[in-house]
Structure 1
Amino acid sequence: LSPIILYDHPAVAPESSVELFDATEIDEILTLRVLTLTDEEKAEARSTDPRAAAIIERCENMTAEELQQLHGILRNPHALRESPAPGDPGNDGFPTYFVPGADPSADPGGDAPWWDPARDAAVDPESDTVLIDGVPVSRGSRVLVAPQRRADAQDFFFAGQPGRVTGVHFDVDGGTHVAVVLEADPAAELQEWYGRYLYFSPEELVPLPPAGNGNNGKETSP
């Protein structure tokens, strides 16, 4: 998955006035890193490759204005669409989100992005339910984390730990993602307040009975 979603036919922004690294937002970070090198490190880097030497030269000769430009700029991705006349309250200069192929004026979701649950009253992570091993699981349910072979390596640190479901999310591709906070996490309340959850697919979770039944979070046999 790409952490940066590009529109069709992307092009290098005019703010990138010189050729640096890979013409993405990390140019600024890498430029700052080059400027922290010692003279000896820069000399060693220059000797490795002509392109490396050219990059170091560009970084050293870059003006403060050029460096500031690399920080990026926010543009309205829908600016080329037909817009309201000047002075119209709708012409506020902010990006307008809409469901592709739909009439924005008839969209009940208002200004919410098309992927926001507010766009579709049929989904609600706080009340939606998913069946796991025949057991309905929803917000407040207890589960045991059981990452599968293709899980993220970090997820295996949480294997065998009980957690509490905070929401059931259905994505636009039909996938189901269960948001969980771990019971053993001392910052569980903070994570839930902030919305920083761990996400697992239903097959990576085992339903547990409610707390207080004396099983100490252990899975029970049917």
Structure 2
Amino acid sequence: MTTGTLCLVRLLPLLDVLESPVRQPVREVVPGGADFAERERTAQQEDEQALTSREGDPTAITRRAEQLALAGGAMTAELAELATALGWRPAGPCGLRCTWPACAPSAEGCVRHRAFQPQQTLAARLRRKLGAESRPWYLMSVDLASDDDEPFEFVTEIGADGYESRKVAQYMDGRLVCVDREHRTRDGVTLSSERVPSWTEFEANNDLHAEEASTEFFESRWQQGLTGSIR
């Protein structure tokens, strides 16, 4: 059986659901279902407007947070209708009692459980502005302008205080160098003493590729760094 035939066989059950005469088109079941991308763009614009107007209007952030809460409830309802329209059947650890996407990810191994919770999303930044506690987070950055004899990739643990606490640098030849607050400089790599720039500054730097990493990824790289090279 060829790969193309195998893929088609796997798609047949879904095609049966979509073509069934008892099913309604998704656009009819979920009004506006085709314009999720446009709605997301509009929502991001409203988020940015709230951030830029907060100095002149301190309540702008609070109002936007309330709007997001209401929108989140409406989106959950739409997702539930969409799941029904597509013939979705529960497959989470709760079995037939699973009510995704309306449930909470409380069960261990739940399909909605996220071990990696980014700290630099707009929603997370808004929560901190409203008083949520800051937590450590992890940054993977690639210096696109580095010289051949300089490290080009850094995986960094950033403390709740906004300063680097541990960092692993990688060279082009595979060497890894670890630094932390007890050993701030090693083999030409230094733990910065300055506060980590904002995420907006990272995104605006054309010589740098940056993305948030998980705790597990950092700890794995840190252990590799202690050996001196990628295994």
The TM-score, its normalising length taken from structure 1, stands at 0.25
In terms of Rg, which structure is larger? 1
Looking at both structures, which has the greater relative contact order when contacts are Cα pairs under 8 Å and sequence separation is at least 6?
Answer: 2
The TM-score, its normalising length taken from structure 2, stands at 0.24
